[in-house]
Amino acid sequence: MIHAGLNRIGRINVGVIVVNMLRFSSIIWAVFCVVLSNTARSETWDVPTDLNDKNTSVMFSVDSTWHTVRGTTKNISGSVRLDDSKDRLSVVVDLRVPVKFFDTDSELRDDRLREVMAAEAFPDVHFVSQRLSEECEPAVIATKGSCQGTLSGMLTIRDVTKKVSLPISIQDTPLGYRVAGAFTTRWKDFHVEDPSILVARLDPLVTISYQTTIPKKE
């Protein structure tokens, strides 16, 4: 009788162990599926998406005789898409920034700026990207949380179009991928005359900064 009881207890213990192992395996599988799903989402841009004043800003700054002149823009329009859906680095940003809405908090200077940029003939600053650098592959951002890279493309200001590589940083945030950067160029590189007014002389270099947020795949 004692032997039979021990056998029965042994069978019960084995059964409990098997049930617990099955439960544990189910939990591990569920966690793996969640991690795999989140990784897949984090490695994919949610594009195409529109660019506008709500999610994108473009600003510029230039040193002057007395202080740094800072300018803002508005009525930005554009989009972000992939040229090749299988190539996550084939990011095409098509962005337009209207010159007539440049604002440096000085009506006289703003009028002069629109004049030298020939705003009526060339109403927009236009940028079209061609490729994102490998440092900002989505899988890298998913692992590190951020990256430092470049976005290469064609920048048109006035009647000049030049190939540029824009420095950018991308950070993974709860709201999406926050993209930001800045680069410096010369007015004359784009056929823009000196926009200085009166004795407030402006530096020949202007720094353009930019920021946007690209949503993630849900």
31-69: pLDDT as tens digits: 333 333 343 344 567 788 999 999 999 999 998 887 898
Same structural domain, 169 and 210 = yes
Same structural domain, 104 and 156 = yes
Same structural domain, 29 and 1 = yes
pTM (2 decimals)? 0.77
Same structural domain, 54 and 94 = yes
Same structural domain, 28 and 130 = no
Structure tokens at 143: 């692992």
Number of structural domains the chain divides into: 2
Same structural domain, 134 and 181 = yes
Same structural domain, 110 and 148 = yes
From CA 173, how far away is CA 178, in angstroms rounded?
Answer: 7
74-84: pLDDT as tens digits: 999 999 999 99
Same structural domain, 179 and 121 = yes
Same structural domain, 135 and 31 = no
Same structural domain, 28 and 74 = no
Domain encompassing residue 37: 1-42
E runs forming strands in the chain: 49-51, 56-63, 68-72, 77-82, 91-98, 124-132, 146-157, 160-173, 176-186, 205-214
